[in-house]
Each structure stands twice: as structure tokens, then as C-alpha cells.
Structure 1
């Protein structure tokens, strides 16, 4: 196994290229996930934890057993985060990540402009020139919410 001992799993942040890029988001952008390397379904396999969806419908938490992320044709980068206690996999891991608010619906069709635009809330659009907060997608959920929550819960021990 590729873990520190039989009681820990290696954890990575994975960046995958995106098939469709949102022109309103700063580029380059990658789909960010958390990958726990457990070898449960073969060499370097494990579990992918991430949010899926888009800014028009909103996002939801998703987890799945997955193959080595470096084999994915959309793979871009792999960043070592640390170690996950095996006793916390997968139940405690999912318990923590499932309660984090996923990125909500942040864009909808504006009949006035006949375009899909960022909104304050569905049906309430920003005026021209009005300051808009940055939109939140998988990257922000993974880096700003999920990873800190796992560290704070004490199940992800940061690596060197």
C-alpha cells in the first residue's frame, strides 16, 4: 500500500482539465477534487471526493471509488496534502464533507439581457457596473472548505 502504515492513507488534491471553460471565470481553471489513495480497487486506486454540477443549477457533493487519477486523460496535477486516518475512512470522511454547503446556483437566464448572468439570488441580477463577488466552484469548495474541514476535524494530518 502507498500509505504511511496500515493505519493511514495518502491524500491528494487533484486538478483535472475542464471540458468546458466558463468565460466569466479567471483562467486557467481546473476541476479540483480530493483523492484518498486506498488501493481498494487496484493499483493506486482510491476514493474521489468533490462537488459536481454547475453555476446555473448549483452543485452537490459526490464521492466514488476511482482509479489512479493520473490515468485520466483530463489529469493535470496531483498535490500531496497529507494522511487520512484509516479508521475515519470512508464514514467519518463523508460525514464531514456531506455537511459542507456546496456551491449554490449563482447564474441564471436574464430575460432583460437575453443572457445567462451572475445573480444576487435567482431573479435578482446585478446592475451594469455593480460590484459582483467572485463565483464559487469546485476549486473554492475543495481548497477553502473541504481540506480545512478535514484538518480541523483531525482526520487529515498535513504532510510535508
Structure 2
């Protein structure tokens, strides 16, 4: 791949403590872009935090050179020019997963709520909205936004004419 593009991957990391309210197995899901071709050094773009806190989750970019992950999937490529600023600009403006769980004094456990104001919990057999965390943010929000902005080119054959 020419140096004018960088490979972009989906990395999944094993969780130390799984959420009992989420289907298993679950992984911390991130977007990773190499900054130097082939050296496996780059940046991870992801949301961190907790869906039980009032802040919910927040976007973060951090350097990543550890290859201690569960799996790595090539998503496509991004233009080297402007990276990582272009990713930060776009991804920091996307909505992040909000608070979705609270401590229920009636059940003495932290659980998903129906509404926060007023705080209303689901009944025992009531259908619940799916929880949204890092995996859903990456797949349903970040990747489509990067593609729409032209910052993630999925088909490598499209790069041939662009270089």
C-alpha cells in the first residue's frame, strides 16, 4: 500500500469484567490506524467510560503499540494527509453512549433504566432497549461516519486510481 494511505483496523480487546446485562462474549472494540506502514504503531480511536456514570462514555484517541488484543480486522485505508487530526475532528463530534444504567434500590443492583428523569426501571418481563457501548458506537456510528466523510476507504481497488 502506498505511503499516502494508512491501514485502518477494528481491534477487539478482551474484557476484564463482562457486563451481565449484555450478550456474551463481549470485547472492547476500537478503531486502530497505523501511523508508520508495517510497524504496528498507531492510534486507537474509541469510547471509554461507563454507562452507569452520569457522563456516560467519551471519545478518546491514544497511542497504541501493544498487540495484546483478541482480534484484528482490516476495515480499509485512510489518507495519511491530515491523520489523526481528521479522525479526531469527526469522531469527537459524534454522540457517545450516554448513561443507560443506574442503581435500583428495589432490586439492590445496577440495571438498565427506561427513563432517567424521572428514574424508571423496566419491569421484570418488559422488553428492554438494547444497551449501547463501544462495540455499537464503533460499528453503527464511527465507521459509517468515517466512510461518509471519505476518511475510511473500504475497497482497496478504489485506491489504485487515487494514488
Please confirm whether the aligned pair reaches a TM-score higher than 0.5, indicating the same fold.
Answer: yes
CA distance in 2, matches of 1:26, 1:113: 21
CA-CA distance at 1:17 after TM superposition: 0.5
Question: Paired residues, what number?
Answer: 152
Paired residue for 1:116?
Answer: 110
CA distance in 2, matches of 1:62, 1:76: 20
Unaligned runs of 5+ in 2: 157-163
CA distance in 2, matches of 1:7, 1:121: 47
Contact 2:21 2:111 (8 Å CA) reproduced: no
CA-CA distance at 1:147 after TM superposition: 0.6
1:4-40 C-alpha deviation (Å, 9 max, x unpaired): 2121100000011000101111011111000001139
Paired residue for 2:73?
Answer: 79
Paired residue for 1:51?
Answer: 47
Paired residue for 2:16?
Answer: 19
Quick check: 1:90 aligned with 2:104? no
CA distance in 2, matches of 1:30, 1:54: 14
Question: With structure 2 as the length reference, what TM-score do the two structures score?
Answer: 0.88
Quick check: 1:102 aligned with 2:96? yes
CA-CA distance at 1:104 after TM superposition: 0.7
Paired residue for 2:142?
Answer: 146
Q: 148-157 or 118-127: which moved more?
A: 118-127
Runs of 4+ in 1 over 2 A off after TM superposition: none
Give the RMSD, CA atoms, in angstroms: 1.6
CA-CA distance at 1:83 after TM superposition: 0.5
Question: With structure 1 as the length reference, what TM-score do the two structures score?
Answer: 0.89
